[in-house]
């Protein structure tokens, strides 16, 4: 092993670079002879040295931060996980934990939840030294003073990047299978059931002049029901078929929403330009997220008004579906809600974030934010 870490406490226990071993903002951990059992300070140094050696022997990352995010403890595994040669290199380049988060809001939420509810597990996207990202699973607990005040956070961190890549590949394969199944189902509905219903309408229309007076009105009612069925089947075919973005994402969503809410008292408005600057594959994923949000609004919200907004900003795209319905929707993190979990996974594939606000007082807003890469 390398020599013991050197440390220097600044504000909030900030560190000066150590020697490449686990670093701690505690009393100096310079070497003490392994058999030294002298005074209290010697025993403290020996305990500190053994503590750091244990941290370095752990395969998982271990990190502790102060209340403002400065590092109190960082072990070798955590530094290497993020692409640094050792702890010293990590501490020389990274000032606070906030520098590591790809999405700053993740840190704010995590700190708030741990401070309020105690230990939590979270999957987070952190910045790698080479400019890429690393997905980690962190078990985070609060460090508290004797009076209960929050001193900072302690975390044991596991690299799950390969796991996430495998999950993404499985999702991509599932997307291809789903698309194929939707296409086949759309063709099946169009080629047989729809054509048969249309044929039945034509047959009844041809019979009408020869019907007894008392049957004319009932038959006309049946024809009306069949015509509504045709409209419903055509809307289903449109929803199932892969979208054609020639006219832009906005018009495609408008057609979808019109079909979904036809026959209801809900009014739907699509605002924003028709085109958004997204690669075709990414546009399909964004469409599927918004489609699921519209399906959920149709099924659960009992809304009078639904608004789809396509907001193109200088550095991001913000795509949202809002309604004035009953509210109280579950979040993507709640177990057992596959549709919302799939929306969240698709948003991550896009490199974006999905936010669902649905207070019990009413109304739901699903907001997808995607960084622009054009």
Same domain for 76 and 147, yes or no, is yes
pLDDT score recorded for residue 25: 44
Domain assignment of residue 4, yes or no: no
pLDDT score recorded for residue 23: 56
pLDDT score recorded for residue 24: 52
pLDDT score recorded for residue 20: 39
Q: Which domain holds residue 116?
A: 11-159
Same domain for 57 and 132, yes or no, is yes
Per-residue CA distances from 261 to 228, 270, 295, 298, 366 (Å) = 13, 13, 9, 7, 18
pLDDT score recorded for residue 299: 85
247 DSSP assignment: G
pLDDT score recorded for residue 207: 87
Same domain for 126 and 40, yes or no, is yes
pLDDT score recorded for residue 330: 62
Domain assignment of residue 2, yes or no: no
Same domain for 21 and 93, yes or no, is yes
pLDDT by 10-residue block (mean), the chain, 374 residues: 36 37 45 51 72 77 91 92 93 92 85 90 92 93 90 93 84 74 75 84 86 88 87 75 84 88 89 87 89 89 93 92 85 51 84 88 92 76
pLDDT score recorded for residue 365: 94
pLDDT score recorded for residue 92: 93
Q: How far apart are CA 308 and CA 253, in angstroms?
A: 8
Count of domains for the chain? 3
Q: How far apart are CA 152 and CA 117, in angstroms?
A: 14
pLDDT score recorded for residue 14: 35
Q: Which of 216, 242, 268 is a domain's end point?
A: 242
Per-residue CA distances from 222 to 132, 213, 218, 262 (Å) = 62, 15, 6, 20
């Amino acid at each position: 092993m390398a020599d013991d870490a050197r440390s220097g406490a600044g504000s909030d226990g900030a560190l000066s670079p150590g020697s490449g071993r686990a670093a701690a903002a505690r009393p100096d951990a310079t070497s003490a002879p392994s058999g030294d059992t002298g005074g209290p300070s010697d025993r403290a140094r020996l305990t500190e040295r053994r503590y750091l050696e244990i941290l370095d022997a752990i395969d998982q990352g271990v990190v502790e931060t102060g209340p403002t995010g400065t590092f109190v403890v960082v072990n070798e595994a955590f530094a290497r996980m993020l692409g640094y040669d050792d702890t010293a290199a990590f501490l020389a380049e990274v000032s606070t934990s906030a520098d590591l988060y790809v999405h700053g809001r993740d840190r704010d939420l995590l700190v708030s939840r741990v401070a309020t509810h105690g230990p939590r597990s979270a999957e987070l996207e952190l910045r790698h030294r080479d400019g890429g990202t690393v997905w980690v699973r962190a078990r985070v607990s609060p460090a508290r003073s004797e009076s209960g005040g929050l001193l900072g956070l302690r975390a044991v961190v596991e690299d799950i990047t390969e796991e996430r890549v495998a999950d993404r590949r499985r999702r991509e394969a599932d997307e291809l299978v789903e698309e194929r199944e939707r296409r086949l189902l759309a063709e099946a509905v169009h080629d047989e059931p729809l054509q048969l219903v249309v044929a039945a309408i034509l047959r009844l229309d041809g019979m009408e002049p020869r019907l007894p007076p008392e049957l004319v009105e009932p038959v006309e009612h049946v024809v009306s029901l069949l015509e509504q069925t045709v409209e419903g089947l055509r809307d289903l075919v449109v929803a199932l078929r892969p979208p054609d973005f020639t006219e832009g994402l906005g018009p495609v969503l408008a057609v979808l929403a019109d079909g979904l809410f036809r026959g209801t008292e809900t009014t739907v408005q699509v605002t924003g330009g028709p085109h958004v600057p997204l690669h075709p594959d990414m546009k399909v994923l964004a469409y599927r997220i918004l489609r699921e949000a519209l399906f959920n609004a149709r099924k659960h919200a009992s809304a009078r008004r639904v608004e789809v907004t396509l907001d193109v900003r200088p550095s991001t795209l913000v795509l949202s579906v809002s309604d004035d319905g009953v509210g109280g929707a579950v979040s993507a993190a709640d177990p057992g809600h596959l549709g919302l979990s799939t929306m969240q996974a698709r948003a991550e594939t896009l490199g974006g974030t999905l936010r669902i606000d649905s207070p019990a007082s009413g109304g739901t807003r699903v907001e997808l934010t995607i960084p622009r890469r054009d």
